[in-house]
Amino acid sequence: MKIGVDLDDVIAVCAVPYLKRFAQEYKVQLPDEKEIGWHLLREMDEHVSPDERDRFRLRLYDGTFFSQLDIYQDCPIVLERLVQNGHEIYFVTARAERRRMVTETWLREKRILDYAKAVHLKPHGEFNPDYPRGRYDPESSAQYKTRLAQELRLDVFCEDDVLISRTLADAGIRVLLFDHPWNRDVKHDRVTRVSGWAEAGTLLGV
């Protein structure tokens, strides 16, 4: 099988450290760690404006954030078994192409870069120029990932984003949806919710 694998919140523990830094900077309260997620940012309008949130995101991503993320503990062993069983892994992220160096260096440090046939980041031209710079743009990311999944003829895609998983599934691609507080509403015939890498591995037969 050819398997697409998203990075942030599928391989990398991302939303929790992001929101913690955000809360520290703007002195806002966060719920219990299990409920921390991207959905909370949408509720911050009265504390932090959308424009200021965009600036925070760019500042954070231009710093050391991506090089300091942890990975989910059972991810490397499952990736290793998938490759040993003859499957092909493609890392597909909506991080901008200009973040390739920090991304690949980090993947190498975590000893998982070599499991992937290729690492695909979102090229500059895939970004919607009318969209505010620095703002998370799931529409263009969903289009990008779905087109790439079709070009690469991926059989299954490991993803956490709501719109991206729905768009992939609508295009006929099977999705393993990594369970997070922000994606609990997603229900689709081709989407299977998994609690993490152990369950994903079991469903993929390793």
Amino acid (1-letter code) at residue 123: P
Residue pair 21/69 in contact (Cβ under 8 Å)? The answer is: no
Minimum Å gap between C-beta 15 and Mg ion is 9
As measured in angstroms, the least distance from the Cβ of 140 to Mg ion is 14
Point out which span in 5-13, 78-86, 115-123, 196-204 binds Mg ion (CB under 5 A): 5-13
Stretch that binds Mg ion, among 3-11, 27-35, 116-124, 190-198 (CB under 5 A): 3-11
| Alpha-carbon radius of gyration of the chain | 16
Member of 9, 41, 165, 191 binding Mg ion (CB under 5 A):
9
Nearer to Mg ion, 8 or 137 (CB): 8
From the CB of 180, what's the least distance to Mg ion, in Å? 9
**160 lines the binding site for Mg ion (CB under 5 A):** yes
| Side chain identity, residue 13 | V
3-state secondary structure 111-153: CCHHHEEEEEEECHHHCCCCCCCCCCCHHHHHHHHHHHHHHCC
Please identify, among the stretches 64-72, 108-116, 150-158, 159-167, the one whose residues bind Mg ion according to the rule CB under 5 A: 159-167
Separation CA 119–CA 101 (nearest Å)? 11
8 near Mg ion, rule: CB under 5 A: yes
Q: Residue 103: name the closest of 67, 58, 57, 64 by CA.
A: 67
User: How many of the chain's residues bind Mg ion (CB under 5 A)?
Assistant: 4
Pairing label, strands 116-122, 88-96: parallel
List residues bridging with 88 in a β-sheet: 2
CB of 46 to Mg ion, least distance (A): 27
State which of residues 3, 4, 6, 197 lies at the interface with Mg ion (CB under 5 A): 6
Question: Is residue 3 within 8 Å of 90, Cβ to Cβ?
Answer: yes
Q: Two tokens at 185?
A: 């509403």
Per CB under 5 A, the segment of 21-29, 106-114, 160-168, 192-200 that binds Mg ion is 160-168
Residues 26-55 that bind Mg ion (CB under 5 A): none
Q: Where does this chain bind Mg ion (CB under 5 A)? A: 6, 8-9, 160
